[in-house]
Amino acid sequence: HNYVDGVCSVCGATDPDYEEPKAKLEALAVSADAEVLLIMRMSFTEELLNDEAATLIVTEEANEITKVDQVTIYTMAQVKEMDKDTKGRYAVKTGIASGEMTGKVTVQIKDGQGNYLKIADYKSEEVTTSVTRTVVDYIRLALASNDERLKQLMIAMATYGGYAQRYYGVNAENPVYNVFAEYGVELPDIDTVTVERIQEELTVSGADIGIKYKSQKLGLDSRIYMSTLFVLDDGENINDYTFKLTYTQDGTEHTKVVDPVQDGSGYRIVVEDIPAAYLDYMYKITVTKNTSGEEYSVTSSVTAWIKRCINASSQPEALKDMAKAMYLYNQAANEYFKK
């Protein structure tokens, strides 16, 4: 007999020793909203979900930055808490940093005796003890689809990811946008992004209250954040100030008190988890001197940072290229999410 998944390909006989896989990779998705997520949609048998000793292991391949594989282990109880769609498929999510979109993500399942279980894969007739995917796999699906808006979003995301690879030096000889050639897609021209094209600007206003804006930086992991650094004048105490963050999102104004985080001799206010479609939204940090009520404020956005970056002669060209690609990613996300 020549058994394939428990059935002889010659005569159709059933393999008496064959066991159906207890898990299957059913579909693949990528989220490009609040963060870049590679999502493996998986189904599991009730027996496996209720196995308290079994674990699901997610391994992110080592690269030039991480140096070693990044391994996350979930109990099946934790798997049952993952998002589940109407078809009963659980979303196994992995955050993907901007420069790591070509990195492999592998899922395995181990039972209580330490044995790796077989996982069926919708793309393969072969059943193995692991399934591996990358963001590139989903980009291929998008480029081959008839969804033009999704296609444009993935093109912009891959362009940003490829230039991030080149800046960070992660698999830089194989940027994610190399996949475009397979589908006759041209790499977007990032040099269309100019200082004149970007409308948002950083502004500083208010009274001299003993604290001043010093600098701003971005965090570009799977989630994007904007960090603004303030410094105190000699003799001032951070406890004498109150910080408020104000921003408008989807037509609604939000204001909240935020706590500064000490960074060396200064203090940072961090705006976390900025979605791709909100990179052009303005965030206002208002600092109030408690004793006098006087205010000092800094208003900025990620795109305002991009504008300063590409206009600064001191910044490396690779960083400017990545910043320009990020701007195009924001524009595509605005169109896709209709922000």
Residue type, 133: R
Q: Could you give the angle at the alpha carbon of 166 between the alpha carbons of 270 and 95, nearest 5°?
A: 50
Q: Kindly state the DSSP code that residue 283 receives in the 8-state scheme.
A: E
- On the 0-12 / 13-18 / 19+ scale of CB atoms within 10 A, 339 is middle
Q: What is the pLDDT of residue 339?
A: 63
Q: Say whether pLDDT at 15 is over 80.
A: no
Q: What is the pLDDT of residues 233-245, one digit of tens each?
A: 999 999 999 999 9
Q: Say whether pLDDT at 128 is over 70.
A: yes
Q: What is the pLDDT of residue 125?
A: 82
Q: What is the pLDDT of residue 33?
A: 77
Q: What is the pLDDT of residues 75-116, one digit of tens each?
A: 999 999 999 999 999 999 999 999 999 999 999 999 988 999
Distance CA 19, CA 118 (A): 9
Average pLDDT score over residue span 10-35: 82
Closest CA to 319 of 168, 187, 158: 168
Average pLDDT score over residue span 4-31: 79
Distance CA 226, CA 263 (A): 14
Q: In this structure, how many other beta carbons lie within 10 angstroms of the beta carbon of residue 26?
A: 17
Cβ-contact 111, 53 below 8 angstroms: yes
Q: What is the pLDDT of residue 68?
A: 94
- In Å, how far are 202, 206, 271, 293, 305 from 254, measured between CA atoms? 19, 21, 13, 21, 22
Q: Which residue has the higher pLDDT, 315 or 17?
A: 315
Q: How confident is the model at residue 14 (pLDDT cuts 50, 70, 90)?
A: low
Q: Say whether pLDDT at 45 is over 80.
A: yes
Q: What is the pLDDT of residue 5?
A: 58
- In Å, how far are 3, 8, 105, 107 from 90, measured between CA atoms? 30, 31, 16, 13
Q: Say whether pLDDT at 9 is over 80.
A: no
% pLDDT > 90, the chain: 87
Q: What is the pLDDT of residue 19?
A: 74
Q: Say whether pLDDT at 65 is over 80.
A: yes
Distance CA 319, CA 165 (A): 11
Calculate the average pLDDT of the chain. 94
Q: Is the pTM of this model over 0.85?
A: yes
Q: Say whether pLDDT at 17 is over 70.
A: no
The string over 144-176, giving b where at least 16 C-beta atoms fall within 10 Å of a residue's C-beta and e elsewhere, is: eeeeeebbbbbbbbbbbbbbbbbbbebbbeebb
Q: How confident is the model at residue 176 (pLDDT cuts 50, 70, 90)?
A: very high
